[in-house]
Amino acid sequence: MTNISDRDRTEPTTGRMLGGRYRLDALIGRGGMASVYRGFDVSLGRPVAVKVFGEATEGIDDAGRRASEIALLASVEHRALVRLYDAAHDAGSSREYFVMELVEGHDLRAALQHGPLDAADAADLLADLGEALHVIHSRGIVHRDVKPANVLLEPAHLPSRRWNAKLADFGIARLIDDARITRTGLLVGTPGYLSPEQVSGAAPGSAADVYSLGLLMLEARTGRRAFPGPAAEAASARLVRDPEVPGELGSDWVELLTRMTAREPAARPTALEVAVAATALARTSPGRASEPADVESESETSSLAPTVVLDATAPVGAPQTAEPESVPEPEPEPTGPTRVLPAHPGAPTVPSDLHSPAGASGTRPVGSARPGSPKPSRRRPVLIVVVLAIATVAIVLAVHAAITAATGGDQSEPTPLPPIPAELDPLGEHLQQLDEAVRG
């Protein structure tokens, strides 16, 4: 029979209610400071994660301080942070507990048991965690315990990545008094990922989280811890040497991880700089740059997309480039409607629609302009009127000459010619001079 320790006797068990609201359903995991349960918030009807701390971590029994810290931590919201819903003291077990967002998935510690991450997955992970640290650092919060067990991985919904990373347990040091933790020999942080300043006993700042994240990523890429061995030996080793970053990771990774794990806090990049650098690494990771071309989006076939001139002489698979300035003029449509060409350059074009059957598609009224064609000149109708007027006068003269010849050349007063139409008045003196020349 397994012996049950005193701690297990006093620790809340499954099925118990905490604060009259949170039911403990199943044990998810247990660490050196606390046990995590899958729970259920009966007030809001949602699943939650409940973290119950050990007896040594007393310190949030001050109701006023607890309320202010919970309000601060609960206001920090980001997709890469596990949200804190509540924190309280359970009178029945004399334990402190946190109520947090329940993330379906597994932690990074379990993922690394199957081997190191490739460059693309590691870059996505680092971008998420760097951005999460930047958010809490901007609110004056230092995590102080960045480690694989505090990185939760939930399945991603995009084909370009396997999962999304969420950072858990931020703000524990703010809610739990450091003095009450350290008096029993405990320390906020895990020896394998502590920064040099934490090992030396100095108050850690945001740079300490960047250092711990650097050790975490180095382990994620190589599959092994940077400072192995017993806790005391591993912790003190980082005071005298920097971790080794293998060159086969690539120059960009080597430079970034070397800066993140510098012993001097001032030499390390900020969390925001880490996130920006990781985003650039994610774009250039092997196998990631060609992904957008493999997935055809609707926007690529949209009518608003730029015209691409295909080169018929190019080999199959050769990239085609858009050349908007060298697009050739379209050839005449071989099956287009028949057009009546003008008799001379100045004559108007007769629309081909006159020969089309009634009701045919694309027909236009006679004289209507073709879409996109320039507006007709105002001089052309005047020229047509002049030509018609001259032709009319010529016809009248010819008829008059024929009548004169038939009557034997009668010398009587010639029959006056019909007057010039009123609509031809704009022709002015030219038509009048022509009329007088004919009569004389």
Q: Which one, of 433, 434, 400, lies nearest residue 417 by Cα?
A: 400
User: In whole angstroms, what is the distance from residue 224 CA to residue 220 CA?
Assistant: 8
Looking at residue 165, what is its pLDDT? Answer: 95
Which amino acid is located at 179 in the chain? Answer: A
Q: What is the CA radius of gyration of the chain?
A: 45
- Which residues on neighbouring strands pair with residue 27, listed in sequence order? 37
- Count of CB atoms situated within 10 Å of the CB of 216: 25
Q: Which two tokens stand for residue 400?
A: 């008059």
- The Cα–Cα gap between 67 and 84 comes to 13
Q: What is the pLDDT of residue 93?
A: 80
Q: Could you tell me if 253 and 277 are in contact, meaning their C-beta atoms sit under 8 angstroms apart?
A: no
Is residue 41 within 8 A of residue 24, CB to CB? The reply is no
Tell me yes or no: is domain 11-100 CATH 1.20.990.10: no
pLDDT means over runs of 10, the chain (440 residues) = 43 83 92 87 96 68 66 87 88 85 92 94 96 95 92 88 90 60 54 91 92 97 91 87 94 97 97 97 73 40 36 43 45 45 46 43 46 51 68 74 61 53 54 64
Whether pTM exceeds 0.75: no
| Nearest-angstrom CA–CA distance, 202 and 135 | 23
pLDDT of residue 294: 43
For position 295, what pLDDT does the model report? 39
In one letter, which amino acid is 53? F
Query: How many angstroms separate the Cα of 285 from the Cα of each of 116, 272, 281, 297, 361?
Result: 15, 20, 6, 22, 55
3-state secondary structure 115-157: CCCCHHHHHHHHHHHHHHHHHHHHCCCCCCCCCHHHEEEEECC
CATH 1.10.510.10 fits 106-286, yes or no: yes
Tell me which H or E stretch contains 228. Answer: none
User: What is the domain partition of the chain in residue ranges?
Assistant: 11-100, 106-286, 390-407+416-440
Residue 167, pLDDT score: 95
Q: Which residues contact 291 (CB under 8 A, 6 or more apart)?
A: 159, 160
Burial readout 328-356 (b: 16 or more C-beta within 10 A, e: otherwise): eeeeeeeeeeeeeeeeeeeeeeebeeeee
Name residue 335's amino acid: T
According to the model, what pLDDT value does residue 38 have? 96
Instruction: Report the pLDDT value the prediction gives residue 373, as an integer from 0 to 100.
Output: 46
145 is catalytic: yes
CB atoms closer than 10 angstroms to residue 129: 28
Helix (H) or strand (E) holding 46: strand 46-53
Which one of 86, 107, 121, 145 is the catalytic residue? Answer: 145
CB distance 272 to 213 below 8 Å: no
Determine the Cα–Cα distance for residues 131 and 137; give it in Å rounded to an integer: 10
Q: Please state, in angstroms and rounded to a whole number, the distance separating the CA atoms of residues 158 and 42.
A: 33
